[in-house]
Amino acid sequence: MSRTTTTYAPPLDSLKFDRRLAETLQSHLNEGDPLGGSFEEGASYVLPPSGDGGEVQDYGRQGHKAGKRIESVVKAGELGAHCYAFSDGMRAIAAATEAIVRPGDKVLMHRSVYGGTDRYFRSEDRKERLELDTIDLSSETAADEIRAKSPKLVVGETITNPLLDVPDLFPVMEAARDVGAYMLLDNTLATGRACLPLEIARAVGYDKVLDVLSLTKGYTGGKLSGAVVTDNDSLARLMFEERRCKGGALPTEISSKVEDGLKTMGVRMAQLSKTTQVLVEYLSNNPIEGIEVLHPFVAKGRKRELAERYLIACPAVFTLRCELPAERFTALTESLSKVFLRANSFNGAYPMMSESAKQSHASIKDSGAKAAAGVSGGLIRLSPSSIYPTEDMLEIVKKLLGEWLRNGTNRPLV
């Protein structure tokens, strides 16, 4: 098996991402809608006089015109050749997996992923629909492990939830390419604004990558939806058939709301990214006893090196890892929740927070699996607001933490 060393410089900055989305949306306005409306509610919609709606106009579960417009925007954002929209991110992950994996096939999943992803693959393993093993895709030995185990599918995230680690994509993609494996990468927390997994794969000469997203936070601003993006024509056909046979397409009823979210993504994500960077730098420069800030842009050592290698913008979420007495941790979450809404799916408009062990990763019941994933009762994932000015958001965080500090024994470390 050949091993190569790839050098890569991200070819695009975040402003070019915003421009790609704007140009695609403008093209929709210029072309108009050949079906005569922005979307049709329900499962029925009107076909052209010829009766031929094209490949996607079979039934709503197969696709529809509004869905195709949404897919074109996401495809432009992720720099991919094909895109298929789904009702939510987990349906997209399940469809991508079921299109590829057969009973007996080995799947290597990163040790720390979103709780729903972990639950899905462990459930499929228990049903003997696949053979699951875990791997640390950020480690220096990950590529050797992939070559040794020769899986059918490698599963990871471009920025992991909730620890916000970045995998070492070049060597693991090269290893997956060498053994003929597919790779499913969840790009939800980054979006194409902060990471371009398909562009990285092209630099490696590897086209078996599925870029999977829950569109809820980044692209749509809270409207439930998901997508799979790929450069591979054969994979695209498999995704089309998977959705055509099993359903799960983005419902027509919410397509217009999803499109509205796409129109504002550029300005929303720019503000979120700016505010997040200010907050994590402030918190890192003003550390508090018992609290560690997790974010790629304030990481140190190898974690920072990987972030600089693969990320092109600041991810708009961060995590606080707390080692505090139970009553102090509870007091902290109560203080933060005065402004940060407790939520499972962040929508970007309002400040939101999630206790990983109780919410996004509550489904991981096995203590060993939870420990391996790094999920403890002291993790708080936060996202700022895209409608609050950055300066206001910083003052809010200072005030909330200041009140918490005054009412307890924790102290600033500097």
The string of pLDDT tens digits covering residues 299-312 is 999 999 999 999 99
Whether residue 369 sits in one domain with residue 343 = yes
Specify the range with the lowest mean pLDDT, choosing from 69-78, 98-107, 283-292, 339-348: 339-348
**What mean pLDDT is predicted for residues 2-6?**
47
Q: For residue 34, count CB atoms less than 10 angstroms from its CB and return exposed for 0-12, middle for 13-18, buried for 19 or more.
A: exposed
Residue 116 lies in a domain: yes
Residue 1 lies in a domain: no
**What pLDDT is stored for residue 142 in this prediction?**
97
Whether residue 174 sits in one domain with residue 118 = yes
Whether residue 269 sits in one domain with residue 192 = no
Specify the range with the lowest mean pLDDT, choosing from 194-203, 223-232, 249-258, 281-290: 249-258
Distance in angstroms (rounded) separating the CA atoms of residues 263 and 257 = 10
Whether residue 300 sits in one domain with residue 223 = no
321-352-211-256 Cα dihedral, nearest 10 degrees = 180
Domain count along the chain: 2
Read off the pLDDT of residues 23-40 as tens digits, 9 standing for 90 and up. 887 787 666 553 334 444
- Percentage of the chain beyond pLDDT 70 is 79
Whether residue 317 sits in one domain with residue 256 = no
**What mean pLDDT is predicted for residues 192-200?**
94
pLDDT bracket for residue 13 (50, 70, 90): low
Distance in angstroms (rounded) separating the CA atoms of residues 52 and 47 = 7
Residue 3 lies in a domain: no
Whether residue 275 sits in one domain with residue 197 = no
Whether residue 174 sits in one domain with residue 28 = yes
Domain termination residue (choose one: 263, 288, 309): 263
**What mean pLDDT is predicted for residues 89-102?**
95
**What pLDDT is stored for residue 210 in this prediction?**
96
**What pLDDT is stored for residue 4 in this prediction?**
46
pLDDT at 9 > cutoff 80: no
Whether residue 221 sits in one domain with residue 314 = no
Whether residue 285 sits in one domain with residue 235 = no
Specify the range with the lowest mean pLDDT, choosing from 5-14, 27-36, 185-194, 289-298: 5-14
Read off the pLDDT of residues 122-181 as tens digits, 9 standing for 90 and up. 999 999 999 999 999 999 999 999 999 999 999 999 999 889 999 999 999 999 999 999
Residues in the chain: 414
Domain termination residue (choose one: 238, 263, 288): 263
Distance in angstroms (rounded) separating the CA atoms of residues 322 and 329 = 7
pLDDT at 387 > cutoff 70: yes
Whether residue 346 sits in one domain with residue 315 = yes
**What pLDDT is stored for residue 3 in this prediction?**
46
Residue 5 lies in a domain: no
More confident residue, 199 or 357: 199
More confident residue, 348 or 262: 262
Domain termination residue (choose one: 248, 263, 278): 263
pLDDT at 59 > cutoff 50: yes
Distance in angstroms (rounded) separating the CA atoms of residues 160 and 187 = 9
Residue among 247, 258, 329, 244 nearest 288 (CA): 329
- Percentage of the chain beyond pLDDT 90 is 57
**What pLDDT is stored for residue 1 in this prediction?**
41
Q: Estimate the crossing angle of helix 252-263 against helix 65-78, to 10 degrees.
A: 40
pLDDT bracket for residue 67 (50, 70, 90): confident
pLDDT at 344 > cutoff 50: yes
Whether residue 188 sits in one domain with residue 130 = yes
Average pLDDT, the chain: 84
Domain region containing 201: 14-263
For β-strands 131-135 and 106-110, DSSP reports them as parallel
